[in-house]
Amino acid sequence: MNNWYVFTLAALVLFGIQRFLYKVSAEENCSTAVTTFTFMGTVTCLSLLLFFARGEGIENVPRLSFIALVNSLSFFAGTVLTIESLKHLPASVVMPLVRLNIVPVVLYGMFVFGDQPSPWQKAGIVTALAVIIILARSPASAGESRGNAVRGVLYAMTALCAGAVAAVSSAHAAHTVNKPAFMALSYFLGTLFAIALLRRGGTPRRGEASKKAFLIGPAIGLVNFGGFYFLLQALARGPLALIIPVTGLSFVVAVLLSLIVYGEKIDAARGLALVLTIIAVVMMRF
């Protein structure tokens, strides 16, 4: 089995758990700013430890700084907007909408990186897109007001654009700069953005939700650190146009966990989407 595919599958699972923890943060009404701050601060510390442990030097600091800035800003925006969207819509609606970012990323990989998927892999990409469309068209839960639904969709669509930029910048980083240094700098900048968000929103009220944010944030950081590291390893070895569609299906893990933990209902369309997800992941292997 190709190394890039193994790393991609590992990233898929970990990113799925990460997105489920976004759902947990939203359900517990945690401060988005606190959750994001502790999450990104955790990844920054872990990345610095990895960087110093490996003892590697840094080349082309200006390039590293630019890519890290673009990545951190886009990923931070995508994270905040996804969590906010989950406060207005179910995970089974938000996650597929956000994952539509695979379309511009796949096209970017083909035209810029020259990725040439096999017929089976092209079929896998189409199947992955079909999964996203099926779930995105799935009706929201009853009782959602029109205002909440519109606000949630707007947040999700903006997160989609931010996610595409983050994925493309990660691909460039995987090929051109030191990976642990990139992770550390990117998440350090993201932590600064989170501090700015905290200051703008004022000091969060103390209480159970605030305490939970200080637990959920580091948990997100731990799984994201592993997922992002595996993603960079995969991107350094394999085609962007295949890796992003596979890892993009990580939202299905989040949807499944939401079904189990929070009792979000599954209908025939969502059941079909889950089956197609498995088929798409298998197709990408060939």
Domains of the chain by residue range: 3-283
State residue 194's pLDDT score: 85
Q: What is the pLDDT of residue 234?
A: 93
**Three-state DSSP state, 89:** coil
Per-residue pLDDT at 205: 55
pTM: 0.78
Residues of the chain with pLDDT under 70: 1-2, 135-148, 201-210, 266, 270, 281, 284-286
CA distances in angstroms from 37 to 40, 128, 207, 236, 258, listed in the order given: 5, 32, 17, 28, 24
Task: Report how far residue 171's alpha carbon sits from residue 78's, in angstroms, rounded to the nearest whole number.
Answer: 17
User: Is the torsion defined by CA of 158, 255, 105, 77 positive or negative?
Assistant: positive
10 Å Cβ neighbour count for 239?
21
Question: Which residue type is seen at 238?
Answer: G
Count the neighbouring beta carbons within 10 Å of the beta carbon of residue 114.
Answer: 9
CA 96/CA 54 separation, integer angstroms: 37
Contact 160, 101 (CB under 8 A): yes
